[in-house]
Structure 1
Amino acid sequence: MSFGHVAIEMVTVSLPIALGWVVSRLGLMSEGFERELSRLVLDVALPALVVSSVFGATKLPGAGELLQVFFGMMAFFVLAFIVACVLCAVMRVPKTSLSSFRFIIMFGNCGFIGFPVITAILGKRALLYATIGLIPSNLFIFTLGIMMFRGIDGGWKAVCRGLLDCLKMPTLIASLIVIVCMATGFTDWGFVGDSIELIGQMTTPSALLLMGASIAHYQPLSMLTNWRAYVAAAGRLVLVPLAGMVMLRSFGIAPGIIAVLVLESAMPVASNGTLYAIQYGADTKPMMQGTFISIVASILTIPFVMMFAAA
């Protein structure tokens, strides 16, 4: 996979993002509409895309491959946590912003943005692997991600509540359906499958338009003044994916699986971070700065990272 191929795909993906920014600035997408469309994508279209990834598959991943994906992504998060702690210590991040910067480095938008980008660059089969990788991603973000902002108040009861919330997510339920389909070889859903696939096709354009619209809500100058946000975004977009790639290669993971996991880990910051910062009274500005920089920079960093992943 050449740098040029990935760059062209990212340009293709970037045009709907730019359009989303334009229509939002023109007032054609209100915040209320964006909120409802985002909910529709997360609860309906994205799960449909996940389930449809198994339709018509002639060669399904074996149990060994699925375990490589699952534990490979788990290893990525352990590595990301270490990188987050080290980078924050080196940057001497103030205690009031520590949770935000750790979250920026650790958690990428693996599903909402990750799935459309993975499909565009690696194809539909790669989405099967990405679906499995999303399971540990959700488990971590709804437990450790929340604990970063809330602290350890509530103990194990709070962790269990986070896990229960995670298990209720339509996307995670869809991922489990995919696992059952792969285990049973049931990939032909007939006209029902055609309908699900049709609904899933709205995910990519909708998610990219929403990504562009989200950029339009930021004040660019105020988002570019924190040097720590640049370092944290670089950790999220470049350092964690490349370090994880080296780690997985040392484990002997299959190259195709590495490419998917590296690409998933190279996504911009997960939007949950801003919501958690607001909910638990953390400083939202560094969270928003890191999110903004990572969204814009990812258009350039993803081809760079994938060039190394394919080498």
Structure 2
Amino acid sequence: MLTGFLLVKCHSLREDQTGGLSNVLTKAALPATILMSCQIPFNWRIVSIIGQSAIVSLLFMILTLVVSLLVPHIFHVQGSLKSIWIGCCTFSNILFIGIPIIGAIYGKTGLITLVTYNAFSNLFLFTFGLKLYSGQTQFEWRKLLLTPAIFASFLGFMLFFAKISLAGPVGQALTSLGNMTAPLSMLITGALFAGTDIKKVFRRLDIYQFCFTRLVLLPTILVPLLKLGIQNKVILGVMVIAAAMPAGAINTAMAELYAGQGERASEYVVSSTVFSMLTIPLVAYLSLFV
């Protein structure tokens, strides 16, 4: 993150170049990580984890959405800003920040749980999220299935259940490509910080209200329910970390495309990412290790 920040401040990385790096991340490195995370020898324990993860992920997304719909009323958020609040609370940055954290703690078993959760998150994004930001009610299945991360998820699960291993040069190349995901996502995040007027952003009350909601209130509500209903420690850990994540960058793109409010959404994404460097370790420690 510091590298990305300094590259922008030293004029070695421009905004248009950051967009290109984002394309490399979302269309190459991230799909490779997702695909290779499914390259686990087939066994019924993993199948059971995938099934449990699917059920938990669906319930988790529904519960997150319900809380996100209620929270704006507490802070009297109105108009188009209300949609941004709901979207940024519901759709978090689980992949770009979650992959390095979950991969380090839980390995490939945690990553395949994360991939399962992400599939349901994208399903909600391209149905409810699309309606939230644009008012459209028509759902395009093709657009969802051709999203690189979703396509890689389906392909990865197919290879897993078919017991097909991507060995040799192909597997090594995809692994090397996937290894770029964590550093590249952090570098882009740092570049995003450098392009934001941090002093201006952190003078606004609504920034602190949103960060409190996304990073403190949501985990406070969700984590006890997760611990009550989930016995598997890996699934519990992934969902706890998901609950603690900051707002996802996808909200910026959708808010700009459909509502012309990309700048406001990016302020919530950046500010919540800054504070999450403190809150993610705290939530994870209190929830999983105390």
TM-score normalized with structure 1 length: 0.86
Amino acid in the other structure paired with 2:76:
R
Matches within 5 A, 1:154-193: 155=137, 158=138, 160-161=139-140, 163-187=141-165, 189-193=167-171
Say yes or no: does 1:31 pair with 2:15: yes
Give the distance between the partners of 2:286 and 2:230, measured in 1 at CA: 17
> Is the 1:230–1:290 contact (alpha carbons within 8 Å) kept by the matching residues of 2?
no
Deviation for aligned residue 1:253: 3.7
Deviations, residues 49-76 of structure 1 (Å, cap 9, x unaligned): 1111233558674333212212212222
Question: Bigger CA drift: 258-267 or 213-222?
Answer: 258-267
List alignment gaps of at least 5 residues for structure 1.
Answer: 1-16
Deviation for aligned residue 1:48: 0.8
In structure 1, what is the equivalent of residue 79 of structure 2? 95
Deviation for aligned residue 1:188: 5.0
Structure 1 runs of 4+ with >6 Å offset: none
> Is the 1:118–1:264 contact (alpha carbons within 8 Å) kept by the matching residues of 2?
no
> Is the 1:224–1:289 contact (alpha carbons within 8 Å) kept by the matching residues of 2?
no
Distance 1:200 1:284, change over 3 A: closer
In structure 2, what is the equivalent of residue 134 of structure 1? 118
Deviation for aligned residue 1:42: 0.6
Report % sequence identity. Answer: 26
> Is the 1:101–1:286 contact (alpha carbons within 8 Å) kept by the matching residues of 2?
no
> Is the 2:46–2:109 contact (alpha carbons within 8 Å) kept by the matching residues of 1?
no
Say yes or no: does 1:46 pair with 2:30: yes
Give the distance between the partners of 1:56 and 1:214, measured in 2 at CA: 35
Amino acid in the other structure paired with 2:160:
M
Say yes or no: does 1:233 pair with 2:217: no
In structure 1, what is the equivalent of residue 97 of structure 2? 113
Question: Bigger CA drift: 224-233 or 30-39?
Answer: 224-233
Which of the pair has the greater relative contact order for Cα pairs under 8 Å at 6+ separation? 1
1:298 to 258, 276, 287: 276
Secondary structure (helix, strand or coil) at the match of 1:280 reads: helix
Deviation for aligned residue 1:112: 2.6
Amino acid in the other structure paired with 2:284:
M
Amino acid in the other structure paired with 1:203:
T
Give the distance between the partners of 2:212 and 2:43, measured in 1 at CA: 37
Q: How many residues align?
A: 289
> Is the 1:100–1:273 contact (alpha carbons within 8 Å) kept by the matching residues of 2?
yes
In structure 1, what is the equivalent of residue 62 of structure 2? 78
Distance 1:61 1:189, change over 3 A: farther
Give the distance between the partners of 1:53 and 1:116, measured in 2 at CA: 12
Deviations, residues 20-60 of structure 1 (Å, cap 9, x unaligned): 11111111111121111110111111111111123355867
Question: Bigger CA drift: 279-288 or 122-131?
Answer: 279-288
Give the distance between the partners of 2:105 and 2:196, measured in 1 at CA: 28
Deviations, residues 162-214 of structure 1 (Å, cap 9, x unaligned): x3312111111111122123323334523321111111111111111011001
Say yes or no: does 1:216 pair with 2:194: yes
> Is the 1:226–1:289 contact (alpha carbons within 8 Å) kept by the matching residues of 2?
no
Distance 1:269 1:252, change over 3 A: closer
Give the distance between the partners of 2:287 and 2:164, measured in 1 at CA: 32
Amino acid in the other structure paired with 1:290:
Y
List alignment gaps of at least 5 residues for structure 2.
Answer: none
> Is the 1:258–1:309 contact (alpha carbons within 8 Å) kept by the matching residues of 2?
no
Say yes or no: does 1:263 pair with 2:241: yes
Give the distance between the partners of 2:40 and 2:54, measured in 1 at CA: 23
In structure 2, what is the equivalent of residue 6 of structure 1? none
Give the distance between the partners of 2:271 and 2:102, measured in 1 at CA: 20
2:184 to 177, 181, 206: 206
